């Protein structure tokens, strides 16, 4: 009789151990399901353009070449007035708002109003052409999530077809992380104005520019 009782106790103990294993597996599966549900459906990874020597990048890392490419593209678009600066300047600010910090957007709107009052935008066209630069040399990290991009460009302006300005200018652009709306700003970066001392001419002694 004791033998059968021992067998029954063994079976019961085994059943209890199986229930413990089932409970642990259920908790594990629940944790995995929660992690899967909380995982982002989209993930932005900044891949450097030159992968001939390989690259090791974290998910949150941004290569200097990507920062430089963003700065060049955005600054050219912001300063592209193909027909009439009185219309094109404001349209560019509105179109590129997701790529501008709120502070810099207000500065641009103030600049738009100031130039408009002076009559400096009517029938004026503008374009900037970036000079070839090494991203590693042009980009300087200022701290987590901010960079200075030293951008050398040739700026050309015309009024009614007549060239009124051709100048080589250095712009110390400030780029920051702004991962607010990936639908409107997939870069996760924004232009935040200029680093001190501000833009300056490269081809003459006139110094800072407006």
**Residue 131 gets which letter from DSSP?**
P
Q: Does 53 or 201 have the greater pLDDT score?
A: 201
pLDDT per position as a tens digit, 103-113 = 999 999 999 99
> Please, what's the b/e burial string for 120-140 (b: 16 or more CB within 10 A of its CB; e: otherwise)?
ebeebbbebebeebebeebbe
The overall average pLDDT reported for the chain is 84
The rounded distance, in Å, linking the Cα atoms of 176 and 103 is: 12
Give the pLDDT confidence score for residue 187 in this predicted structure: 86
How far, CA to CA in Å, does 154 sit from each of 61, 79, 140, 178, 182? 31, 11, 22, 28, 32
Give the pLDDT confidence score for residue 52 in this predicted structure: 47
The rounded distance, in Å, linking the Cα atoms of 166 and 21 is: 77
Instruction: Point out the least confidently predicted range of 12-21, 36-45, 126-135, 156-165.
Output: 36-45
Give the pLDDT confidence score for residue 204 in this predicted structure: 59
Topology classification of domain 64-201: Nuclear Transport Factor 2; Chain: A, (3.10.450)
pLDDT per position as a tens digit, 27-70 = 888 887 777 666 555 556 555 555 445 445 555 667 888 899 99
Give the pLDDT confidence score for residue 181 in this predicted structure: 80
Q: How many residues does the chain have?
A: 210
Give the pLDDT confidence score for residue 110 in this predicted structure: 97
Q: What is the mean pLDDT of residues 129-138?
A: 89
Predicted confidence band of residue 86 (pLDDT cuts 50, 70, 90): very high
Sequential DSSP letters for 45-65:
----S--TT-----TT---HH
Instruction: Point out the least confidently predicted range of 39-43, 88-92, 122-126, 149-153.
Output: 39-43
Q: Does 22 or 148 have the greater pLDDT score?
A: 148
Q: What is the mean pLDDT of residues 160-169?
A: 93
First to last CA, the chain: 102
Give the pLDDT confidence score for residue 57 in this predicted structure: 53
Domain boundaries, the chain: 64-201
**pLDDT above 90: residue 88:** yes
């Amino acid at each position: 009789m004791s033998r059968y009782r021992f067998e029954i106790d063994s079976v019961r103990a085994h059943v209890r151990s199986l229930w413990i294993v089932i409970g642990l597996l259920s908790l594990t599966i629940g944790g995995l399901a929660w992690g899967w549900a909380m995982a982002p459906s989209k993930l932005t990874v900044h891949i450097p353009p030159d992968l001939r020597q390989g690259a090791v990048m974290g998910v949150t890392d941004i290569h200097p070449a990507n920062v430089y490419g963003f700065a060049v593209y955005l600054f050219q678009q912001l300063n592209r007035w193909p027909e009439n600066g009185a219309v094109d300047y404001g349209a560019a600010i509105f179109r590129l708002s997701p790529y501008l910090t709120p502070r810099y957007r207000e500065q641009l709107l103030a600049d738009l109003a100031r130039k408009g009052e002076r009559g400096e935008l009517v029938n004026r066209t503008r374009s900037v052409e970036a000079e070839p630069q090494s991203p590693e040399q042009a980009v300087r990290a200022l701290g987590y999530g901010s960079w200075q991009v030293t951008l050398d460009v040739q700026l050309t302006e015309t009024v009614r077809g007549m060239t009124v300005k051709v100048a080589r200018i250095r712009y110390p652009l400030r780029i920051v992380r702004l991962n607010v709306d990936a639908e409107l700003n997939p870069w996760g970066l924004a232009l935040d104005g200029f680093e001190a001392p501000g833009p300056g001419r490269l081809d003459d002694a006139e110094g800072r520019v407006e």
